[in-house]
Amino acid sequence: QGSSTSLSSAQVSSPAEDINAEILQDEVPAVPPYISDRYRVGRMLGDGNFAVVRECVELSTGREYALKIINKGKCRGKEHMIQNEVAILRRVKHPNIVLLIEEVDTYNELYLVMELVKGGDLFDAITSANRYTERDASGMLYNLANAIKYLHSLNIVHRDIKPENLLVYEHADGSKSLKLGDFGLATMVDGPLYTVCGTPTYVAPEIIAETGYGLKVDIWAAGVITYILLCGFPPFRGSSEDQEALFDQILMGQVEFPLPYWDNVSETAMDLIRSMLEVEVDQRYTALQVLEHPWVTNEGLCENEHQLSVAGKIKKHFNMGPKVNDTNAGVSVISVSDQLQASTGLTAIRHTLKCFPQMNIFFSLISLISSNALDRANFLSFLMCAGVWFLPLFSWMTAFLCSDLGRWISTSTRLCTG
């Protein structure tokens, strides 16, 4: 079997029988006979909202894997998301993707035996490296773009590509490669998608604008990561308290390369980043175009030898410290944030309203309605008395107040303003 072949290169640090000598810090749960007959279940690697991950060793071979145990009782109402994630994991078999080996479904739990990736995540690799150059960053993007190209060939979009989901696989010969994990937000694409999800720093503008999106949101995220790989901080920045400022920057898509941080980075690299962070989706690169770009191919390697000093900036910007319950096994914690959805929607609307300065009054009045300080009937009276700038706009706003969108914005405004 193809997946088993690629996994056989993993070197096991201790034989299966030696795991009994370990003093486990947590209680090993009872597992189904099928699992206990084939695997020795060991220490906890991490946990999430409704899943825990444990190390396990295949008794017949001594190979190490990660056993993800999903508690069905804790994810009621999200069963379809679990089923979707597992269905996608069954389909994908690629050297740069964390593999699903097998699954066991019981009444209370779902057990997933996954490839164990022990080298840490992308940021770990960079911050622990003695020497780090553009060549290294180029190789990392090559691995990621290969994974994305494969997924997109299957019409699968990942939707949560970020450094924490890029894990370092250490091969038997000492070489390393990246593997993409966490398919909790991945889905098939058979038309425009509208679900607002992802991680704010890496989310594409079309997700924020809610105009419909597709496969290329993964390219945007990869572009953000490439930018970080070369300077240590993201191209679009905002505080956790001011997420809307971040989303405004993303919608504008103005990519800058400030000095002195980009002094020693090649123009070829910056050219690729601009093409990956193109707001116009049709103009944005595909995964194949990324792989064919000179910075990724051998053509650009001659200028990639300058050592980059990004480790300190990554640690500072991303507040890297000891990781609690870090699985390093591509384990997902499914999360579609309502707050993110509300914030992105409002940001997109505000961005559009900037084209009409007088509409700021309208948006302020929407906020009053949402706080019950002004009812809709009085608002309509106000518009009529004010003469509202032109009739089409008045008609649109009247319809707006009676629409589902109006009710959604009223609700979203309350979410964003507390």
Name the CA radius of gyration of the chain, rounded. 24
Q: In this structure, what token pair is assigned to residue 418?
A: 């507390």
- Is beta strand 51-58 parallel, antiparallel or unpaired with respect to 166-170? unpaired
DSSP state of 359: H
Which residues on neighbouring strands pair with residue 255, listed in sequence order?
Answer: none
Contacts of 236 (CB under 8 A, 6+ apart): 201, 224, 246, 249, 250
Please identify which of the residues 160, 182, 218, 248 carries the catalytic annotation: 160
Please state, as a whole number, how many other Cβ atoms lie within 10 Å of the Cβ of residue 108. Answer: 9
Phi, psi of 46 (to 5 degrees): 175, 170
Query: Taking CA 77 as the corner, what is the angle to CA 345 and CA 52, rounded to the nearest 5 degrees?
Result: 100
Q: Are 100 and 114 in contact (CB under 8 A)?
A: yes
Helical (H) or strand (E) element with 156 = strand 156-157
**Residue with token string 């990554």:** 314
Contacts of 353 (CB under 8 A, 6+ apart): 359, 360, 362, 363
Would you say 313 is a known binding-site residue?
no
**Rounded Cα distance, 258 and 301, in Å:** 23
Closest CA to 66 of 15, 7, 107: 7
Q: How far is CA 104 from CA 27, 33, 38, 109, in A?
A: 21, 10, 12, 9
**Residue with token string 């080996």:** 101
Conformational region of residue 69, where left means phi above 0, alpha means psi within -120 to 50, and beta covers everything else: beta
Q: How far apart are the first and last CA of the chain?
A: 53
**Rounded Cα distance, 259 and 267, in Å:** 13
**Rounded Cα distance, 287 and 181, in Å:** 18
Prior bond of 258 cis (ω within 30°): no
Q: How far is CA 217 from CA 116, 175, 203, 282, 347, in A?
A: 27, 30, 7, 12, 18
**Residue with token string 């640090």:** 13
242 part of the active site: no
Please give the annotated binding residues, written as ranges.
68
Active-site amino acid positions: 160
Specify binding-site residues for ATP: 68
